[in-house]
Amino acid sequence: MDTLPFLTGEVMPMLNEGLVMSLKIIIPSATLGLLLGIVLGTVRTYGSPWMRRLGNGYAAAIRGTPLVCQLFILYFGLPHIGIYLEPYQAAVLGFVLCNGAYHSEYIRGGLLATRRGQHLAAQALGFSSFGSMLWIVVPQAVRRSLPGCGNEIIYLIKYSSLAYVVTVMELTGMAKQIASDTFRFTEVFLAVGAYYLALVTIATFVLKKLEERFRIPGFGVS
C-alpha cells in the first residue's frame, strides 16, 4: 500500500500551500464581509427610504444569485467594460460582497430586536442620533447577531473552495490539480475534506468563545 507515502509525500505539501492561500482569502473576506454587513444592515434598518430600497435590492440580488456566477462576472465579465481584477482580488471581492449581504440580514434582525428605549436612553444621556446608533444600538445588535454571523463565517470557509473557478490555487484548486495528475481522486479529496473539517472545527471553537465573551447578560440562555 502506497497510500500513506502518497499522502505525506505528495498530497500534503501541496495542500499546505493551498491552505495558506485559503487563509489569505478567508480572513480578509470574513473581516470585511462582517464590516460591510454591519453597515448594510444599519442602512437597511435606519436609512432613508431610497437607501433602504437600494440596500434591500442589493441584498436580494446577491442572495438570489449563485456565488459562482458572481465570481465569473467579477473575473471574466468586468474586463469587457475595462475593469481588470487579479484572480485573488476577484475572489476576495466576490466573497466580501456575498458575505456582507448575508451578514446584513443577521445584523438587521439584531437591530430590530433592540428596543427603542435604548435610543431614547442614549439621547437622554446626551448622545446624538448618530452617536446613539454607533455606540449603543449597533454594538448590541452585533452581539445579538454573533451566532448567525458566525454561522455565515463557517459557510465562507467552505465556499471559499469556489475560488479555484477564477484560477486561485487554494485548497480545492490544489486538490483538483493533484487528482488530475494522479487520478487518485478518492485519497486526494478525502484529504482535502479533512483540511476543511479541521478549519471549520477551529473556527467553531473560536466563534463559540467569542459568543460567550460578548454575550449580553440576561439575553438568551445562560
| CATH-assigned architecture of domain 3-214 | Orthogonal Bundle (1.10)
How far apart are alpha carbons 98 and 96 in whole angstroms?
5
Let me know if 18 is exposed, middle or buried by CB neighbors in 10 A (0-12, 13-18, 19+).
buried
pLDDT tens string 49-90:
999 999 999 999 999 999 999 999 999 999 999 999 999 999
- pTM as predicted: 0.90
Instruction: Please name the residue that has the C-alpha cell 428605549.
Output: 117
Question: In Å, what is the CA distance from 150 to each residue of 37, 89, 117, 139, 215?
Answer: 12, 23, 28, 16, 13
Instruction: Name the pLDDT band for 178 (thresholds 50, 70, 90).
Output: very high
How far apart are alpha carbons 103 and 101 in whole angstroms?
6
In the chain, where the domains are located: 3-214
Assess whether pLDDT exceeds 60 at residue 113: yes
Query: Which of 12-16, 31-35, 115-119, 158-162 shows the lowest mean pLDDT across its residues?
Result: 115-119
Assess whether pLDDT exceeds 80 at residue 126: no
In contact, 47 and 114? CB cutoff 8 Å: no
